[in-house]
Amino acid sequence: MSELGIPPAGNAAGRRLRGTWRGLRRFVRTQPLGAIALLLITTFVFAALFAPVLAPYDPIEQNREHLQGAPDGRFWMGTDDLGRDILSRVLYGARTSLLVSVATVAAGGALGTVIGIVSGYFGGSWIDTALQRVMDTIMAIPGLVLLLFVAALLGPSVLNTIIALSLLVVPSFNRVARGEMLRVREELYIEAARANGCGLWRILGRHGLPNLLAPMLVVLSLVFAIVMIAESALSFLGIGTPPPIPSWGRMLSEGSRYLEIAPWMVVFPGGVLTIAVLAFNLLGDALRDFFDPKQLR
C-alpha cells in the first residue's frame, strides 16, 4: 500500500492521537485552572469507579458502638447517627452521583441535541416552530418545580431521578445545538452536500453534528454540575435516590439534624459536593475560553 503512495491505516490513528495529545498540552498550558479542575474530576471519577476497593467499610453497615463518632484513626471522616462510616458513604455516594449525572447528560443531551439540530436545519419552518414551542413550555416551568412534580409523580428511584433530570437538561442542549445549526446550514459545504443529493440525516450526521462538538462539550461540562446539584437536592428532599443507596444529598439531609453535635456529618459530604461542582464549572469555563476562536493563543 505504501508503494502506491497510500499511507498505512495506522498513520491516521497516530496523527489523531498526536493531535489530541498536543491539544491536551495546549489546554494545560493556556488554561491552568481548567487543568486543575480536570485533575479533580479525574480523581472524582477514579474514586467513584473504585469505591468498592477504596472504601474501608460497607457503606450501609451499622456500628452501634460508634454512633456519631468524631473523625479519628479508624473512621477518618467519623460516623453518622447509625454508626455508618462517612468516608465509605461519601465514596459510594460519588458512584451514585456519577451514575445519575452520566445517564442524565447522555439521555437528555442526546435528545436535546437531536431536537436542536433538526430545528436549526429547518429554522423558520413549522417544524422549527413546533419543536421550540415545546422547549419553551418546559423552560417556562421553574426547574425545581418540574423536578419535584416528575419525581413525586414517578416515585423515588434512581431511574425516575434520571428521567426527571433528563427533562430538565433537554432545553439547554437544544438551545446551543439549534443556534449552531442555524449558522452551519448556511455554509457552502452544506449547499454542496444538498446539490450532490445527500439526504437529510446524512447532512445532519456527517456535517451538522461534527461542527457542534466543541460548543456541546462546553455545555456538557456545565450541565453536569447542574445535574449533580439537582440530584442532591432531590435526595435531600427525600424524593431522589432512595435509601439505603448512599447519596450526598441524603447524607446532608440526615446530617442537618445533628449539625451542632456532629458537624462532620454535613461538612464532608457537603465539601466533596462543593468541590465536584466547582471543578465542573471551572472546566466548563476553561473549555469555553479554549474553543473560543477570538482568543489569542
Average pLDDT, the chain: 82
Query: Does the pLDDT of residue 89 top 90, yes or no?
Result: yes
Query: Does the pLDDT of residue 202 top 80, yes or no?
Result: no
Per-residue pLDDT at 1 = 43
Query: Does the pLDDT of residue 102 top 70, yes or no?
Result: yes
CA–CA separation, 189 vs 184, rounded Å? Answer: 9
Per-residue pLDDT at 111 = 92
- Give the residue with greater pLDDT, 188 vs 228: 228
DSSP-assigned states of every residue in 74-87: SSTT-B-TT--BHH
Confidence of residue 4 (pLDDT cuts 50, 70, 90): very low
Query: What SS3 state is found at 236?
Result: helix
CA–CA separation, 183 vs 219, rounded Å? Answer: 18
- Kindly report which listed range (73-82, 130-139, 141-150) carries the lowest average pLDDT score: 141-150
CA–CA separation, 292 vs 97, rounded Å? Answer: 30
- Give the orientation angle of helix 86-121 with respect to helix 126-140, to 10 degrees: 150
Task: Kindly state the cell numbers that stand for 143.
Answer: 426547574
Quick one: which of 85, 83, 103 has its CA closest to 95? 103
The percent of residues above 90 in pLDDT, for the chain, comes to 17
Per-residue pLDDT at 67 = 86
Confidence of residue 216 (pLDDT cuts 50, 70, 90): confident
Per-residue pLDDT at 15 = 67
Task: Kindly state the cell numbers that stand for 190.
Answer: 452544506
Largest CA distance in the chain: 78
Is residue 187 within 8 A of residue 194, CB to CB? The reply is no
Query: Does the pLDDT of residue 13 top 70, yes or no?
Result: no
Per-residue pLDDT at 50 = 92
Quick one: which of 213, 150, 131 has its CA closest to 177? 213
| Ordered domains of the chain (ranges, CATH) | 30-65+76-290 (1.10.3720.10)
Task: Kindly state the cell numbers that stand for 199.
Answer: 439526504
Task: Kindly state the cell numbers that stand for 210.
Answer: 461534527
- Give the residue with greater pLDDT, 184 vs 264: 264
User: What is the average pLDDT across 81-94?
Assistant: 90
Q: Kindly provide the b/e burial profile for residues 109-134, where b requires at least 16 CB atoms within 10 angstroms of the residue's own CB.
A: bebbbbbbbbbbbbbeeeebeebbee
